[in-house]
Amino acid sequence: MYDIIVIGAGAAGMTAALYAVRAGMKTIVLEKMGIGGQITLTEAVENYPGFSFISGPDLMDKFEQHIKKFGVEVAYEEVHEVKLGDGSHVVVTDDNEYTTHAVIVATGSNPRKLGVQGEEKFIGRGVSYCAVCDGPFFKNKDVAVIGGGDAAIKESIYLTQIVKKATIIHRRDKLRAEKILQNQAFANPKIEFVWDHVVDRVVGNETFEGITIKNVHTDEIREMKFDGVFVYIGHIPNTKFIDVNKTSNGLIITDDCVKTSQAGIYAAGDCRDTCLRQIATCVGDGALAAYNAGEYVERVKSGYV
């Protein structure tokens, strides 16, 4: 029997585990892939306090070293179901079932796909969702970046260190990214913009050739030649395995203390319905989740729940 099980080992999950262990809670982190989460795909982090610049992988390495210092237990298993109970829950993975008083869901999200013809065919062969992973394959080539938020603009700026030109294609006539990133992008001579367009399909027979784009106002379609396309149009939360109240998009609904609709179940980070998704907010969520989960566990053990 565990006091707290943390599902996910990104910034939110590692913070939650650290706070839980330091509070004396018997804790395990279940992670299906590797420590760090989506942040490990980010080349540059410039808005996390204490670091004017650090790569995503390096920052997550520091998080990992910190939790290891306090002996946080980590098991690499994918969670398929959480069986809800009264005062205790059962977390089901590929190989095991873990019983716990409280669960902190910190599973993050996966990149949202375009959902257009040709996309699946060319994933890894021209279509990418990670500039840090695949950018080097496009050295001195022309690429498109789809999106207008922080991720799209940040990764476009990163790509200009590698590619010949990055063309940002956005469905609106202005960006959603934070102002400092917008200013950097507008000032970068290797970045161009195509406004008010969406991707219609990915073009190519045996090899990737480019994309067709559609004007959102006139429905006019035109083809653009690129060597690759990087997609940053949001993420889909990894929450299917847990039965709690969610938004229509699958984000877990919580109160201000990150409690879900089920007693003993908490959510932290990008899988939660919140107005801002940043490393700093993930860390805050993780701390809140561990604190409140710990309080809940103490009440269960004392017979008050």
CATH of the domain at 285: 3.50.50.60
For residues 88 and 9, state if they share a domain: yes
Q: Is 257 a catalytic residue?
A: no
pLDDT band (50, 70, 90) for residue 258? very high
pLDDT value of position 302: 94
How does pLDDT run across 59-77, given as a tens digit for each residue? 999 999 999 999 999 999 9
| pTM, full prediction | 0.86
For residues 103 and 121, state if they share a domain: no
Q: What is the mean pLDDT of the chain?
A: 96
Choose the catalytic residue: 61, 130, 142, 243: 130
Choose the catalytic residue: 3, 58, 61, 133: 133
Q: Is 133 a catalytic residue?
A: yes
48's CB contacts (< 8 A; 6+ apart) are: 54, 59, 279, 280
pLDDT, mean of residues 153-170: 97
For residues 23 and 161, state if they share a domain: no
Closest CA to 106 of 32, 21, 42: 32
Distance CA 300, CA 305 (A): 5
Last residue within a domain, chosen from 202, 231, 260: 231
For residues 106 and 239, state if they share a domain: yes
For residues 136 and 281, state if they share a domain: no
pLDDT band (50, 70, 90) for residue 132? confident
pLDDT value of position 145: 98
How does pLDDT run across 208-221, given as a tens digit for each residue? 999 999 999 999 99
- Into how many domains does the chain fold? 2
Distance CA 9, CA 232 (A): 22
The full length of the chain comes to 305
Last residue within a domain, chosen from 184, 212, 231: 231
For residues 129 and 169, state if they share a domain: yes
Whether the Cβ atoms of residue 113 and residue 136 lie closer than 8 Å to each other: no
Q: What 3-state class would DSSP assign to 139?
A: coil
Choose the catalytic residue: 134, 150, 200, 285: 134
For residues 155 and 210, state if they share a domain: yes
pLDDT value of position 41: 81
Last residue within a domain, chosen from 206, 231, 256: 231
pLDDT at position 133 over 90: no
For residues 165 and 214, state if they share a domain: yes
Q: What does the DSSP 8-state code read for residue 126? A: T
Residue 262: domain span:
2-110+235-302
For residues 223 and 255, state if they share a domain: no
Whether the Cβ atoms of residue 294 and residue 286 lie closer than 8 Å to each other: no
Q: Is 130 a catalytic residue?
A: yes
Q: What does the DSSP 8-state code read for residue 110? A: E
pLDDT > 70 fraction of the chain, expressed in percent and rounded: 100
For residues 119 and 105, state if they share a domain: no
Q: How many CA atoms lie within 13 A of 101 on its CB side?
A: 21
